[in-house]
């Protein structure tokens, strides 16, 4: 059985693991996206997660992978915001899903319960590593805890469990996947990714910690579908299939170490076609740019980026627009008024102040798809 797994190759030339924000930074309105917001033992996402991920793959009998390969799998399976990667999307998306798979894919099917994820993440961030390994011993694939010890992977596994899924904004900025779970009352991949997002006190899984309430639709997904989904990240299988039937573990193989340090970014990445910029309100200096995050035909997820283009802070804002569809769920704002398909939304209070040059993002789901964002941008107006 291999004991290396290319550990040293997972670091940059300075000897440090690579931070996911090296590939991009998508600060939004979620909690814990920046270093200053990493409270309660939460840590940044780094390529140490890839070491834990490949360690789990080695235990299951699979060879090592690089983050680009993992990222391409995510794009191929509708687990991303965009249909096509540009810049260093493949690297960042791949690292994100390597982390998620390593956090959860070690659990046996018959031992999986969402609460276990909250309990072990809280324990690993605030408790005794010995208690963590006792939980692994009781709930993992047979022999995995011993495998971690013999292959000097305990610290790496523990450090990966500490990582905060919202860090760097990739969870909403690039992996807000549209894949829908057939038995989940409309839950999408992004909702199920919230399994590893905990409440502020770190006692509950499947939480939207920005508001400290559950990611409601994810609670309807059967537990077997959840563990299969996270196992699929490890084996690069069908996210809606039975990734490891009955939690089966093949004989381990001697993996081939890979260099996780990504190739330099293409200086001329493929960018999406530009659209007309959102009009700026002359009175306030605010603009509202509508972006279609996901469009699956019978519904969509839209984001509104409200930007203060002026020189003075804005301390309150309301936005009115005609959508042509019902809003199913909204976050980072509240619906103040609706007349037909004409909506007025108000800030959520905590994001009422927008400093000069700064932005806030509002998101919502709709009951139909196919939106003309240029028309939405032209139609929207701010109320004061």
| Average pLDDT, 10 consecutive residues per value, the chain (384 residues) | 37 67 77 71 95 96 94 95 90 97 96 95 93 95 94 97 93 88 85 93 87 86 95 94 66 47 53 65 89 74 89 92 86 88 89 89 81 88 84
d(CA 228, CA 82): 24
| pTM, entire model | 0.63
Nearest to 374 by CA among 306, 276, 304, 271: 276
- Predicted local confidence at residue 5, as pLDDT: 37
- Predicted local confidence at residue 7, as pLDDT: 35
**What pairing do the DSSP bridges indicate for beta strands 327-331 and 359-366?**
antiparallel
Tokens of residue 290, six digits: 């509508």
Instruction: Set out the domains of the chain in order of their start, with CATH numbers.
Output: 7-247 (no CATH), 286-383 (2.60.40.290)
Residue-by-residue DSSP string for 112-153: --HHHHHHHHHHHHHS-HHHHHHHHHHHBSTTHHHHHHHTT-
d(CA 105, CA 227): 7
d(CA 256, CA 290): 45
Contacts for 130-133: CB closer than 8 Å, 24+ residues apart: 132/158, 132/161
Yes or no: say if 366 and 326 are a contact pair by the CB < 8 Å rule. yes
CA angle 367, 80, 226 (to 5 degrees): 80
């Amino acid at each position: 059985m291999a004991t290396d797994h290319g550990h040293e190759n997972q670091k940059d030339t300075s000897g440090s693991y690579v931070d996911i924000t090296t590939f991009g930074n998508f600060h939004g309105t979620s909690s814990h996206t920046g270093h200053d917001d990493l409270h309660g033992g939460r840590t940044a996402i780094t390529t140490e997660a890839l070491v834990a991920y490949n360690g789990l793959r080695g235990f299951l009998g699979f060879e090592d992978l690089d983050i680009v390969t993992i990222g391409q799998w995510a794009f191929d399976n509708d687990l991303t915001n965009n249909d096509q990667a540009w810049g260093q999307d493949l690297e960042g998306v791949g690292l994100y899903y390597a982390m998620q798979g390593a956090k959860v894919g070690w659990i046996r099917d018959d031992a999986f319960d969402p609460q276990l994820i909250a309990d072990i993440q809280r324990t690993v961030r605030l408790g005794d590593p010995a208690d963590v390994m006792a939980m692994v011993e009781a709930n993992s694939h047979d022999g995995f805890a011993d495998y971690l010890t013999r292959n000097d992977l305990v610290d790496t596994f523990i450090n990966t469990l500490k990582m905060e899924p919202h860090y760097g904004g990739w969870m909403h900025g690039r992996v807000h996947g549209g894949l829908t779970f057939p038995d989940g009352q409309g839950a999408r991949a992004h909702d199920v990714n919230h399994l590893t997002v905990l409440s502020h006190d770190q006692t509950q899984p499947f939480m939207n910690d920005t508001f400290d309430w559950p990611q409601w639709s994810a609670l309807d997904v059967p537990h077997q579908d959840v563990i299969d989904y996270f196992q699929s990240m490890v084996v690069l299988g069908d996210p809606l299939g039975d990734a490891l039937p009955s939690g089966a573990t093949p004989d381990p193989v001697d993996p081939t170490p890979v260099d996780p340090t990504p190739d330099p970014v293409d200086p001329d990445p493929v960018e999406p076609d530009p659209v007309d910029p959102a009009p700026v309100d002359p009175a306030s200096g605010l603009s509202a740019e509508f972006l279609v995050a996901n469009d699956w035909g019978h519904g969509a997820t839209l984001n509104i980026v409200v930007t203060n283009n002026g020189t003075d802070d804005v301390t309150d804002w309301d936005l009115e627009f005609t959508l042509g569809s019902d809003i199913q769920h909204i976050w980072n704002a509240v619906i103040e008024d609706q007349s037909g398909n004409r909506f007025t939304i108000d800030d959520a209070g905590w994001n009422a102040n927008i400093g000069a040059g700064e932005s806030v993002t509002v998101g919502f789901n709709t009951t139909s798809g196919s939106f003309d964002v240029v028309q939405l941008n032209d139609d929207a107006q701010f109320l004061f």
